[in-house]
Amino acid sequence: MKTLKTSDVLTAYNILSGSKYTNLSDADKIKVWKIAREMKPIATKFEEDAKDASEKFRPEGNYDEMFPKAQEYERIKREKSKETLPITDKEYDDFIEVFKKYQNLVNEAINEFANKELELNFSPLSEETFEKLMTSNDWTIDQSMVLGDILM
């Protein structure tokens, strides 16, 4: 039995779902697969809820039109390019204000679920099994540390 936050389950599941089991024994492959299988409905629900909140709270008006223009504006500014800006500084500032309010609303809506602690029923992996899982994959140090904390 392991107590984890929903956001940690989502992170772990997203890493595990694309993982290879090459160096694991058959028994350990099944063990890791069962862990991922237990995490999947939690991760799926969280992603669906986040998508739903994102769609429901999307600002009205020209938000969808302004978003790519704001991204292009940021790229041109970052690269100090001589290209013509797609929007004015004021339009960009106004859009960013709307964008931040929107993001904060979405984050507030899903924050409770993201931080909810859940009991997952799986046997932790041994250090040896986790090392073999790491060897089978090309994870970053951050990904390895996150998974190690969760799976062992």
Q: What is the pLDDT of residue 1?
A: 81
pLDDT at 35: 95
- CA atoms of 80 and 58, how far apart (whole Å): 31
Amino acid at 150: I
Helical ranges in the chain per DSSP H:
6-16, 26-56, 63-79, 89-115, 127-136, 141-151
Round to whole Å and give the CA distance between 130 and 147. 9
pLDDT in tens, the chain (152 residues): 889 999 999 999 999 999 999 999 999 999 999 999 999 999 999 999 999 999 999 999 999 999 999 999 999 999 999 999 999 999 999 999 999 999 999 999 999 999 999 999 998 999 999 999 999 999 999 999 999 999 99
Residue 139 is predicted with a pLDDT of: 95
Enumerate the domain spans of the chain.
2-151
Say how far apart CA 135 and CA 139 lie, in whole Å. Answer: 9
Q: What is the pLDDT of residue 114?
A: 93
Could you tell me which residues come within 8 angstroms of residue 137 by beta carbon, excluding any fewer than 6 positions away? 19, 20
What count of other Cβ atoms lies within 10 Å of the Cβ of residue 88? Answer: 10
